[in-house]
Amino acid sequence: ADHKMDFDYWEILKPYGENATMDTEVMYEMFKELCSLTFTEPVQVEEGTDTGIQDSDMGIVIEYVDTMDDTQAKSAEEADTEAEIILGKEDGKGGRYAALAGSMEEVFVLPEDTLQMIYARKPFDYILKIPALISADTLESVKISADGRTYEIKVDTAEDSYRFGKKKVEKEEFAALYQALSEIKLVSEMEQEENGGKEDPRLSVIYRRNTGDAPDVRVSYYFYDAEFDSVEIDGKERFLVRKE
């Protein structure tokens, strides 16, 4: 999509949908960890050793596109290859017994530290800790509502024109406020879902876009407790930010 930056092409469809921005540095680190797992040399397991593989309910399933059509890229739903790694017990030497589904008779030992870096991570670890990543070049306006008052910022980066209400401001003044809006950091996921009936948001920011393929985005902040506010992004309320 023209309105997206290169690193914003990745999405965590489960559980976040399109609202969260992938931290590509962490993602590529995870890819590197996955690719470091090798299954070329099975180990000799001493007779009587319980590897835990046969009765295991722990593992990793990876679905991916192994071949690419020259004329049309495939989506995640069209993955043509699947790898299932079945994990057993630790071997007592820093590794964990493992096997590939379909060839359980071959046992491998994978480094436990690497496995922990893969399966112990949570989805929240893989996203940038900002509510919404929106390039100023795609903006037509930003509407900010708080304390019963509404302010509108008009943006035209092509013409280098910025207005706070009717007041024309320099690019630096706009950039300082826009950066402040972008620096509200997500600190965690919410432990409980809201049951509805909440008050009006303490702060609401609507990003209106200047191109048809770029959707408008609404970010609203609600009272949560004495230390945190919750943030709702396009109707999805998942994360907490510090009230300060």
- Residue-wise pLDDT tens digits, 28-81: 998 898 888 888 899 999 888 999 999 999 999 988 877 666 555 555 567 788
Q: What percent of the chain has pLDDT over 70?
A: 90
The Cα 39–Cα 49 span in angstroms is: 20
Task: Tell me the residue type at 87.
Answer: L
CB of 108 closer than 8 Å to CB of 1: no
Nearest to 22 by CA among 48, 1, 4, 3: 4
CB of 190 closer than 8 Å to CB of 237: yes
Tokens 């300082």 -> residue: 176
Confidence band, pLDDT 50/70/90 cuts, at residue 119: confident
